Amino acid sequence: MAAGRYRRFLRLCEEWPLEETKRQRDLGAVLRQRVAQAFREGENTPIADPEACDQMYESLVRIHTNYYKNKYPRLKDTTFTGVTVEDCRMILATDILKQMEDMKKGTWRRLREKFSAKKPEEDSK
């Protein structure tokens, strides 16, 4: 039965899209890593708690298929602030977050990092 569970998780991993804009923060990438950790021996991996494994799979399928989004449709595709889904995706992209983080730094700190041979992490120690 572990082989069937393993194949279901693999199929889910194949279907789950990777978002290139969210490097190192993508749910699809984390899912692939966790499945690889959980099923180290592939189809021969013993499963300690099959019920919990099945419940986890069903939960992930509901997320992947937008079960609750379809069950409870929204009247508008914006938030209370008026920001659209596409605007949120753009704001949460890794490159934009890095730019915003750089903007938060003060002028002195940016100059110090630019001309310093040391990394900023070493400076705070």
Give tens-digit pLDDT for 91-108. Answer: 777 666 676 666 667 777
Q: State the alpha helices, DSSP H only, in 1-125.
A: 2-15, 27-38, 50-64, 67-71, 85-91, 94-104, 107-115, 120-123
- Has residue 123 been placed in a domain? no
Tens of pLDDT, residues 26-74: 888 889 999 999 888 888 888 888 899 999 999 999 999 999 999 998 8
- Has residue 125 been placed in a domain? no
Q: Are 29 and 94 in contact (CB under 8 A)?
A: no
Does residue 83 share a domain with residue 68? no
Phi, psi angle pair for 112, to nearest 5° = -65, -45
**Rounded CA gap, 31 and 10, in Å?**
10
Does residue 52 share a domain with residue 9? yes
Q: Are 5 and 77 in contact (CB under 8 A)?
A: no
Q: Are 116 and 123 in contact (CB under 8 A)?
A: yes
The amino acid that residue 113 corresponds to is E
Domains in the chain, number: 2
Does residue 68 share a domain with residue 97? no
- Please give the pLDDT value at position 63: 93
Range of the domain at 13: 1-73
pTM (two decimals): 0.62
